[in-house]
């Protein structure tokens, strides 16, 4: 029995797997094609990580594809009913990279909602506003990272929130899955700041945070 | 010669006028109908504030209607060409209050862009992610408030950015006016957190902040 399956071996996979291990969770790491990449990242992470490639049985109760939106849609299609009963965490920001000026989902929808239409898994939106490097370290400038979570299923949302909290992050449950519309626009804004050459303070290592008054 | 005209006498007018005075700017405060309300707020603010009512000549080079989106459209219609040459700061979040579930502007647009279509003023988006109370105090939890700014005209954006900086705030110029689409969805998210009874930490006095890594 594995707690969390992470698909992908890039920077976001590294960040999420780092947090999973910090939370004491067992991790299955599936490479897209090259199992050696999963093994290399597993070795780097240290312990409690099993490896495989896309197409292998998904062992985790929580599945986090650390891939772009289009790749996530392909994963959902590939696994089909095998994802039934799983919590599928959508971390994507579906930026239209041809223009870098808008999101590539229809107005009034979101990547998370589009994925929910095509999978029997329970989709939860989370981790789309946290950059990879900040997940590796688990904080920014000594402050706890916010993880914004949206979903329609209470127990699925709680599973993701519990994971984030156990990983030392500040989990904020925002509302139903359609709130992903706001989370993705906010994630896009976060990306735009780092992509903006006029803003040298933002170098893909900043963090969006909602500071409560104290 | 007045620096900034603020239209409205509510909480956001109080917050913005407080910052304007902190920045050493002269302020014209126009009440919607009741000049006594403008006078009361001016007395509270202390000094350098002149008062009037909507319809009076707009003296400020920067005009900030501290009102809802529909009221801002009405102001633009009322003043027409008299706003030519002014910097018009759109602080609104055009929430559909009948559902509290989405924004009430067309997809691919924003309140700021809609206003720009109907005014000869130069519209700049700003202050839509900062709650009134945080503007009065100028900070949250000892941290500088972020003011996110978007606009197409460089000198107009600079005028707003200079004001925010002089007021002790952290001005971040995000990009062109169409970035208001992201700022308004992010502002809506900020509102949704405070409106959510399940999140007792958020009571209309929190602040959205992009923390750079240090």
Give the nearest partner residue to B193 out of A101, A174, A192, using CB atoms. A174
B198/A102 Cβ within 8 A: no
- The C-alpha atoms of residue A147 and residue A183 are separated, in whole angstroms, by 10
Give the nearest partner residue to B207 out of A173, A188, A211, using CB atoms. A211
Chain A positions touching B108 (Cβ under 8 A) are 102, 107
Residue A184 lies in a domain: yes
- In the three-class reduction of DSSP (H, G, I as helix; E, B as strand; rest coil), residue B9 is classed as coil
Chain A interface, mutation test: which of B204, B213, B214, most A Cβ atoms within 10 Å?
B213
Residue B55 pLDDT = 97
- Tell me what ipTM this predicted complex has: 0.95
Chain A positions touching B175 (Cβ under 8 A) are 192, 196
Chain B interface, mutation test: which of A96, A177, A186, A200, most B Cβ atoms within 10 Å?
A186
Residue A120 pLDDT = 98
Residue B182 lies in a domain: yes
Residue A32 pLDDT = 94
Question: Can you give the residue range of the structural domain that contains A162?
Answer: 2-195
Per-position pLDDT tens, chain A of length 214: 799 999 999 999 999 999 999 999 999 999 999 999 999 999 999 888 999 999 999 999 999 999 999 999 999 999 999 999 999 999 999 999 999 999 999 989 999 999 999 999 999 999 999 999 999 999 998 999 999 999 999 999 999 999 999 999 999 999 999 999 999 999 999 999 999 999 999 999 999 999 988 7
Query: Of B186, B143, B210, whose CA–CA distance to A206 is shortest?
Result: B210
Residue B206 lies in a domain: no
Residue B137 lies in a domain: yes
Chain B positions touching A214 (Cβ under 8 A) are 141
Give the nearest partner residue to B140 out of A141, A192, A213, using CB atoms. A213
A213/B141 Cβ within 8 A: yes
DSSP secondary structure, chain A, as one string? -EEEEEE--SHHHHHHHHHHHHTT--EEEEESS-HHHHHHHHHHH-SSEEEEEBTB---EEEEEE-S-HHHHHHHHHHHGGGGTT-EEEE----B-TTTTSSBSS-TT--HHHHHHHT-SSEEEE-SSSB-HHHHHHSEETTEEPEEEEEES-HHHHHHHHHHHHHTT-EEEEEESGGGHHHHHHHHHHHHHHHH-TT-TT-SS--EEEEEPP-
Put simply, whether B202 touches A (Cβ < 8 Å) is yes
Residue B19 lies in a domain: yes
User: What CATH number is associated with residue A95?
Assistant: 3.40.50.720
Residue B34 lies in a domain: yes
* Model confidence band, residue B124 (pLDDT cutoffs 50, 70, 90): very high
Residue A212 lies in a domain: no
Residue B210 lies in a domain: no
- Into how many domains does chain B fold? 1
């Amino acid at each position: 029995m594995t707690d969390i399956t992470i698909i992908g071996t890039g920077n976001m996979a590294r960040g999420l797997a780092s947090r999973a291990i910090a939370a004491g969770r067992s991790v299955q790491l599936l490479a897209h094609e090259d199992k050696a990449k999963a093994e290399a990242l597993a070795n780097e992470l240290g312990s409690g990580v099993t490896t495989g490639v896309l197409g292998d049985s998904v062992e985790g109760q929580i599945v986090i594809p650390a891939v772009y939106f289009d790749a996530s849609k392909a994963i959902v299609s590939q696994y089909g009913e095998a994802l039934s009963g799983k919590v599928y965490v959508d971390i994507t920001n579906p930026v239209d990279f041809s223009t870098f000026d808008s999101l590539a989902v229809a107005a009034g929808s979101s990547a998370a909602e589009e994925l929910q239409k095509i999978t029997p898994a329970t989709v939860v939106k989370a981790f789309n506003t946290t950059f990879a490097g900040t997940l590796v370290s688990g904080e920014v400038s000594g402050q706890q990272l916010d993880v914004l979570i949206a979903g329609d299923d209470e127990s699925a949302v709680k599973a993701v929130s519990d994971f984030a909290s156990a990983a030392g992050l500040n989990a904020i449950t925002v509302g139903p899955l359609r709130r992903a519309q706001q989370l993705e626009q906010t994630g896009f804004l976060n990306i735009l700041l780092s992509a903006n050459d006029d803003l040298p303070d933002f170098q893909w290592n900043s963090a969006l945070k909602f500071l409560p008054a104290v």
